[in-house]
Amino acid sequence: MKKKFLLLLLAASTYSIASKAQDTVKTTADAPLVLYGSVDTYYKDDFSGHGNIPTSFASDNNSVSIGMIDLGLKKTVGNASFVGEMSFGPRNDQSIPTAGYHIQNLYVNYAFSPKFSATAGYMSTFIGYEVISPTGNFNYSTSYLFTNGPFQNAGLKFTYAFSDKVSLMAGIFNDEWNVYTSQHDVSTFGAQLTITPVKNWTAYLNVATGPSSGTEFDLTTAYQITSAFKLGLNAATYSTTHYSAGFSGVALYPQLAVSKVVTLGLREEYFKSDNGTAASTYAPVGPLPGGSVLASTLTANIKTGPLTLIPEVRLDGINKQQYSSFTNSSGDPTKSASQFVLAVVYGF
Amino acid sequence: MCVLFAKVASAQKDLLAFNEQNKYMYYQVVGQPGVITDTLNDRALYFLEKAYPKNTIKKGETSGNYTGTGKFLVVSGLTMAKHIEGEVNYTYYIECKDQKYRYWLTDFVFTPYKVDRYGNSVPQEGIDIPLESATTKLDKKQVDSYLDQIGTYGKAFGDKLKYYILKPAALPKETKKKVISTKDW
């Protein structure tokens, strides 16, 4: 694995040098080969003494643990571009259901015009507010909506910008989420309507629907109201007849920059698991079917250059004991769980 | 060699000055003996259309004046690990007179970029930082690097303008189609 990694880096360096050499004889404005990514590590302490909160990532309790190393390469020449992003570590493994696979993004894009483009490959999902990369999230722990929604969608999509304020993406994707290859066919339809009602406010109305993957409607929006204050919102509902289950929820993300290095943010999320039926073969991560959870997460981002220190306190409360799988320090069932996380993320 | 490169790179910031409004500007007056206003005016317009096609172009109130806005990316890191830090938006002015022209770039505003879920570098909406007050929101080292890159960009802008002004060949030519008759040989 180490050799493979070194070979990969060597190949990337060679490609970069080759690109540079070509740049000396041509004068086009093509972007250089860009390398980007992140590494993250964390310490978590669940106040019960054992892990309780089941949302994605940061799963190890009372341990200095690692997230992942994320490495992406991208390049644009003329109207064509590619992105290849791979990751290694527990965060990668928890985000991709196929063991041993390490691709987060692998796609090619062609812009037919400044307004119309096509993209094909394996891409981060267009659904939801939060993302897999720790540099893309304000909070280090993740929401129930994120955990239960898609992470990636493989497929072919087209995007058309009607104006600076309105654009539409529509595409066809593999029948199941998060997989490189379809189980049977390419039968999930996905669309995203992007609206910018006023400057610095963007809203995304999303739908992904297919006979196997189910149907999720999602609203993701963020408004940078002042240079210091941002408000985000994510609301979604999911149902599937295939697995006879579903969920719905809403999360609010107010964030306030209190200095040039410190920003404070709250995530207030309500998430409900549908009742399901006797035929249910899937239950959402979180409260047991029929139950709901209110999760409050207070996070600080302390930035120094490319490094972000993220202290975070989180309290999750289930509406009724019978829907809870939390246990207290004695191992007895309880309705609530709380944890502290200290994470460090380096983005480049 | 590295030390030399660092010195050359850091010197680019010194190409910037402040204007009457206490804003950074890259300002140059260039003599062009023997070239009249109209010619300079045509060449400057052709320069703007060809060398910076994405910039906006607005004719000034008097003949021979152009203004508009543009933007460019600022990066960090070496070639192998180049990271797009953000974009700098600016306003430019070009004024032509008999046998001389002047130009300046000013109103530099930095917008940081973030990497989105697809790996694209995209502007962070709503965060626009004038370079004059950037040290209140960014590290001084970062700001110095951006000012260096603005200086480099301003110099490149001026060098290209000079090329278009000096080389009438850069102007569009009427190209005659070469036709060969195969009947007469």
List pLDDT tens digits, range B172-183.
555 667 777 787
Instruction: Give residue-wise pLDDT tens across range A232-289.
Output: 999 999 998 777 789 999 999 999 999 989 999 999 999 999 987 766 677 899 999 9
| Most A CBs within 10 Å, among B71, B125, B129, to test the A interface | B125
In chain A, the largest separation of any two C-alpha atoms, in whole Å, equals 71
Q: For chain A, what are the domain ranges?
A: 33-347
Residue in A35, A125, A202 nearest the CB of B80: A35
**Domain count of the fold of chain B:** 1
Mean of the per-residue pLDDT values for chain A?
A: 89
Instruction: Give residue-wise pLDDT tens across range B17-61.
Output: 888 889 999 999 999 888 888 899 899 999 999 999 989 998 877
Q: Kindly state the percentage of chain A with pLDDT values over 70.
A: 90
Range of the domain at B73: 10-168
Handedness of CA B4, B8, B13, B17 (dihedral sign): positive
Query: Which DSSP letter does residue A148 get?
Result: H
Local confidence band at A19 (pLDDT 50, 70, 90 cut-offs): very low
Does A197 contact B at CB distance below 8 Å?
Answer: no
CATH assignment of the domain containing B121: 3.30.530.80
**Element spanning A316, H or E:** strand A307-318
Number of Cβ atoms within 10 Å of the Cβ of A241: 12
- The arithmetic mean of pLDDT across residues A59-87, rounded, is 95
- Residue B106 CA to chain centroid, in angstroms? 10
* Sequence letter at residue B31: G
Integer Cα distance of A166 and A186 in angstroms: 27
Strand partners for A213: none
In a domain, B65, yes or no: yes
Concatenate the DSSP letters of all residues of A171-210 into one string.
EEE-SSTT-SS-SS---EEEEEEEEEEETTEEEEEEEEEE
In a domain, B76, yes or no: yes
What residue in B sits closest to A257 (Cα-Cα)?
A: B137
ipTM reported for the complex surpasses 0.90: no
Q: How far apart are the first and last CA of chain B?
A: 62
Asked if CATH classification 2.40.160.10 holds for the domain at A33-347, the reply, yes or no, is: yes
Integer Cα distance of A122 and A96 in angstroms: 12
Integer Cα distance of B87 and B72 in angstroms: 5
Integer Cα distance of A282 and B175 in angstroms: 70
In a domain, B175, yes or no: no
Residue in B119, B125, B142 nearest the CB of A105: B119
Does A222 contact B at CB distance below 8 Å?
Answer: yes
**Interchain proximity B77–A348, CB inside 8 Å:** yes
